[in-house]
Amino acid sequence: MFSLLFLFTLLNSLIFLAYRLAFIGSVVQGAGAGDVFRIALYGLRLDAALLALESAVLVLVALWTRWMAPRRFCKWLAALTYVHAFVSLSNYLFFHERNQHMWEMFLANIAQPKEIYIAVAPLLFHRPLLPAALGVVSVGFFFLGFRYSRCFSADPLELRSALKGRRSPIILILALFLLNLEPVRMKSTDWPLGWHPAVVASRYYMRWDDYSHNQAVVNPVHDFITSSLPASLKSHARFVLPREEALTVARGLLGVPGGDSPYALLREIHSDTDLGIENVVLIQVEGLSESLVQHDTEGRAVMPFLRSLTKEALYFSNFFQSFDSTDGSTFSVVTGFPETFVARQTRDFLSYDVGGPYPSLSRILGERDYQHLFFQAFRHRYASYVGFLRNQNHRTYDLEYFEARLKDRPAGNTVNTLGVFDGVFLQETAQVLAGMPKRFTAYLIMATTHSPWTTPVDFGTVFENQRLNAFHYVDRSLEAFMEAMKKQLPRFDRTLFVIVGDHTSYTYQRNFLERIRVPLFVYSPRLAGMKSRWQKAQETLGSHLDIVPTILALLGGRHCYSGMGRSLLSPEAAGRGVISGSRKDGYYLKDGFVLRDAPYAGETQLYATANGEVIQEDVSRRHPDVFERMKREYFGLYETSKHITREKKVFPVDHPEACKLHG
């Protein structure tokens, strides 16, 4: 039996290696010998996890039944080998055709067999000999497998005796299951070792700044078993509107022209603004509430620099978080879609979140004239963020990069249990940006204003409240970063700086709107004197979805876009609704009302607002027309986001001419 397991492992490792080499040869562009080696090595880690998991299950079954015939064991291993080969080939062909993994389409349309047929049919019709060839090969494989299995005894074998003792099977099973665990770095306050065991996942090995390279690492069977299927089972399957009706509602609200484009929300953003902006720096501040910018504590401003920036920058004070955690807000900033975390039982990026062809700024602007960069230096689940941005074609500077740069500096002034202090992080980032040889976009995620709220030893105590002291430190760090940029960046006057909170944390009141309102600053020396031009626009309701379209409007020209955001500077943005949410509740703000959807409780309620506060009384019966209209709009937008982001027909990455259909 051990010889069978060895042969099974060797043969299937070769199958997965052949799959990756074929994938690299036809899908991945610009892969060097070093890339091929790393893809094969990282893929082998995922292959080992899958084969160990399957072997452990077979051994468990054998122990449960106590007796196992070697011939039957051989047939099971042959069946698994066939599944691996069939899925690998199918996924290769499917990805080559549609630029997405097979299971992403299958799980997204499992309740719509017609959609699965539409997706699979071209593979069969364009290759009419393929089904016949697969049939012949399958019959031949099972025939050879059956013949080979007859080389082994059909007599049952007592597994414990074969393994010489009761402890040996347990040790073997534990060893096999351990191969499915991965040490993941996190805050040392959450786990003394600074890491915790997690199930092996492909996102931990997506280490390229290119989507296709990262997808070559994936083991299609392992990802289906450990990521996609569990996530699909956990997902809240309730849909209020039929898919086509939801899409019609969403298109109407977003002003998307009609047509039969496969990219449902594809349209063009056109702006006559000509500021000569070349670079974009987007800074996402952890837990930055809008009220922190405006309030004084202990007789002084907590964030004096940001308060002064409200007078120079475009400052959007009616800007709301898309989600109440960094994961969801980051997803919305990058993709222009509300992350459908509500009732999903998790806040982490899932496989269909991490690897999508979204209308991110990097995808829209392309790589011919721009370099796209991502910076983060925190420990908590950082591999998920890095993998997500790498798949959007960002060159990443992550925690490991900053730790290597700072290894000789005193730890008390550079790092805490969460990661690198924001002040140090920003100064190191400034040096990288100053050396960029061409135009760039940069996305920075800060973290010091997260628990444990500590600041560098040499910063001292300005506020007795530790949280406010951390925010004051971050404010000074942002000011120092802007000064460094002004001195070091050759094209500072042609750079657009966007500063936004990812979600709220410290607030001064328990008012609902204050608990979801975050500030948005848009600053450039080129905007000086133009603040009054967009005075009214700065009062517009907005969310993280609107950041990329607003940036595109300031860059000027024509840009292809297919997200749910709108430029906050456009007249069309006024009067439209904004989606926000948490893991349990979804919210829709519009026209002085707030719709609350609570799927766990089975409730949908309507609240009115007055003087910037929500009146805690359900007024759905008093305003039935408003209630029904807002419900239809909310579910139209939210459920369309669910469908589109999982189906992966979002943005024409490989077909830039598609946008001309709506030009």
What is the torsion angle, in degrees rounded to the nearest 10, for the CA atoms of residue 450, residue 454, residue 459 and residue 460? 130
Look at 117-121, 177-181, 398-402, 652-656 and tell me which has the smallest mean pLDDT. Answer: 117-121
pLDDT of residue 194: 63
pLDDT of residue 227: 75
Kindly indicate the confidence band of residue 357, based on its pLDDT and cuts at 50, 70 and 90. Answer: confident
User: Is beta strand 370-376 parallel, antiparallel or unpaired with respect to 395-397?
Assistant: parallel
Range picked from 132-136, 192-196, 446-450 for highest mean pLDDT: 446-450
pLDDT of residue 30: 81
Kindly indicate the confidence band of residue 463, based on its pLDDT and cuts at 50, 70 and 90. Answer: very high
Domains of the chain, first to last: 2-229 (no CATH), 243-662 (3.40.720.10)
Burial category of 321 from C-beta neighbours within 10 Å (exposed 0-12, middle 13-18, buried 19 and up): buried
Write down the H helix ranges in 277-359: 290-294, 304-312, 326-335, 351-354
pLDDT of residue 39: 94
How far is residue 652's CA from residue 565's CA, in Å, rounded to a whole number? Answer: 17
Give percent of the chain with pLDDT exceeding 70: 86
Burial category of 355 from C-beta neighbours within 10 Å (exposed 0-12, middle 13-18, buried 19 and up): buried
Average pLDDT, the chain: 86
- Tell which wins on pLDDT, 199 or 211: 199
CB proximity list for 479: less than 8 A, separation 6 or greater: 305
Whether the pLDDT of residue 363 is over 90: the answer is yes
pLDDT of residue 590: 96
Tokens of 244: 């086509």
User: Could you give the C-alpha distances from 169 to 23, 39, 58, 152, 165, in angstroms and in order?
Assistant: 37, 33, 12, 21, 8
Whether the pLDDT of residue 432 is over 90: the answer is yes
How far is residue 544's CA from residue 649's CA, in Å, rounded to a whole number? Answer: 21
pLDDT of residue 147: 83
Pair 586, 634: CB distance under 8 Å: yes
Kindly indicate the confidence band of residue 43, based on its pLDDT and cuts at 50, 70 and 90. Answer: very high
Question: Which residues of 341-467 form beta strands (DSSP E)?
Answer: 370-376, 395-397, 439-445
Whether the pLDDT of residue 342 is over 60: the answer is no
Whether the pLDDT of residue 281 is over 90: the answer is yes
pLDDT of residue 662: 44
Range picked from 269-278, 456-465, 612-621, 627-636 for highest mean pLDDT: 627-636
pLDDT of residue 66: 64
pLDDT digits (tens, 9 = 90+) for 397-423: 999 999 999 998 988 899 988 889 999
pLDDT of residue 661: 44
Whether the pLDDT of residue 190 is over 80: the answer is no
Residues in the chain: 663
Kindly indicate the confidence band of residue 225, based on its pLDDT and cuts at 50, 70 and 90. Answer: confident
How far is residue 151's CA from residue 523's CA, in Å, rounded to a whole number? Answer: 75
Pair 188, 194: CB distance under 8 Å: yes
Kindly indicate the confidence band of residue 352, based on its pLDDT and cuts at 50, 70 and 90. Answer: low
How far is residue 596's CA from residue 588's CA, in Å, rounded to a whole number? Answer: 7
Looking up tokens 């500590």 gives 454
Pair 223, 45: CB distance under 8 Å: no
The H or E element that residue 315 is part of is strand 314-316
pLDDT of residue 599: 81
Kindly indicate the confidence band of residue 324, based on its pLDDT and cuts at 50, 70 and 90. Answer: confident
The stretch 6-17 carries a mean pLDDT of 92
The stretch 14-27 carries a mean pLDDT of 92
Kindly indicate the confidence band of residue 644, based on its pLDDT and cuts at 50, 70 and 90. Answer: confident
Kindly indicate the confidence band of residue 155, based on its pLDDT and cuts at 50, 70 and 90. Answer: confident
Cα-flanking dihedrals φ and ψ of residue 388, to 5°? -60, -50
The DSSP code for 166 is S
pLDDT of residue 234: 58
Tokens of 278: 């070349």
Pair 432, 373: CB distance under 8 Å: yes
Rg of the chain (C-alpha set): 27
Instruction: Taking the CA atoms of 572, 574, 575 and 581 in sequence, report the sign of the dihedral they define.
Output: positive
- Tell which wins on pLDDT, 196 or 449: 449
Look at 219-223, 294-298, 443-447, 583-587 and tell me which has the smallest mean pLDDT. Answer: 583-587
CA end-to-end span of the chain, whole Å? 64
- Tell which wins on pLDDT, 582 or 316: 316
pLDDT of residue 336: 95
